[in-house]
Structure 1
Amino acid sequence: MASFVVLEPSGDRPAADIAFVRDGFAWLGLLLPFFWLLWHRLWIEALLFLAASIGLAMLVEFGGLGVVAPFLSLILALYVGVEGATLQVWAATRRGWRAWGVVEADTLEDAEARYFAERGDAAEPERIVQRAEPSRTVRPGVSGEPALGLLDYPARG
């Protein structure tokens, strides 16, 4: 089963604009990391990747690290492949989106169905009042704890 991070819009955006980011390895992020970052509109991350790549090229040219440079480039591309979904979530939160939580499902359609089934209580006012009080109940698949990988996802708030 795959995990999908659910991102809800905040502010003036319509509630129907909900984004689902699949957590998993991005093969194109490994093979073409710079273009993968640009494709997903991760501008700051793409610039950082470009700066790191240029820095590695300068180390090879002026520092004599010709043997080590391919491994460092591979590690940089591997990082983009492993943490690509987390980079997408971070970029969305910078743009004003709110991370609702994590939904486990096999497909995107199943993730949408599970999300809307859990959020189906929006039409019942008495349940909204109950949810307004802070609680620390842990639901399966929704966690603020670090996920598999180097970075964690923000807790549902």
Structure 2
Amino acid sequence: MRSYLVLTPPGGPEKDHRSTLFLADGFSWMALLFAWIWLIWHRLWLAGIIALVLQIGSVLLLGMSGFFLAGLLLGFAIHVLIALEGRNHYANSLARRGWTLESVISATDLRTAEEIYFSGLPQPETHPLPSSSDWANKAKQPSVSGWQGPALGLFDHGGR
């Protein structure tokens, strides 16, 4: 089971909920492989620049004699930390931008999480269409003068 954070944009969700974001909480393989690129892609500018500078520092340590292991461990630690905590940082960043955390759902996959969330939302009321006999009965009613009477033109003011 995986946890999914359900976030809605500032000003509330759209009528069809297309802007509602389901963010899987937990480890990210893309963040592990491309740490600073993943951060920049998700508009986490400061964290992405810091990760890039630290990765450059780890590469410089790799080239120094006696610091190969330190450079290797620093680079690995940066990637693992971003892979584990990147999505949490992204969710917090969205919350600072005005997004609202609506719910946290545990599900096996994204589709199931969406079904669970949307099944709990109130359904819009559906009004049945009137039957044809109702239409026929309304047509037989006597005409009324004034604004409710039959109109001859675009603006019929009681036959005046």
For 1:6, the aligned partner's letter is V
How big is the shift at 1:20?
0.5
Residues 97-125 of structure 1: CA deviation (Å, up to 9, x unaligned): 111221011221211111122232787xx
SS of 2:32's partner is helix
Match of 1:52 in 2: 54
Retained in 1: the 8 A contact 2:57–2:71? Answer: no
Shift of 1:13: 6.2
* CA distance 1:59–1:120, shift in 2 (3 Å): same
Higher relative contact order (CA 8 A, sep 6+): 1
Residue 90 of structure 2 corresponds to residue 81 of structure 1: no
Cα displacement (A) at 1:5:
0.5
Secondary structure of 2:121's partner?
helix
Specify the code of the residue in structure 2 equivalent to 1:95. Answer: R
Match of 1:72 in 2: 74
Contact 2:8–2:21 (8 Å) recurs in 1: yes
CA RMSD of aligned residues (A): 2.8
Residues 1:105 and 2:99 aligned together: no
> In the aligned structure 1, how far is the partner of 2:28 from the partner of 2:62?
27
Q: TM-score, normalised by structure 2?
A: 0.64
Q: Any idea what SS the aligned residue of 2:67 has?
A: coil
| Number of aligned positions between the proteins | 123
Structure 1 unmatched ranges of 5 or more = 124-157
Aligned position for 1:153: none
Structure 1: distance between partners of 2:7 and 2:38? 20
Aligned positions of 1:30-41 closer than 5 A: 30-41=32-43
| Residues in 2 aligned to 1:54 and 1:64: alpha-carbon distance in whole angstroms | 17
**TM-score, length-scaled by structure 1:** 0.65
Residue 49 (structure 1) shift:
1.0
TM superposition shift of 1:2 = 1.4
Percent identical: 32
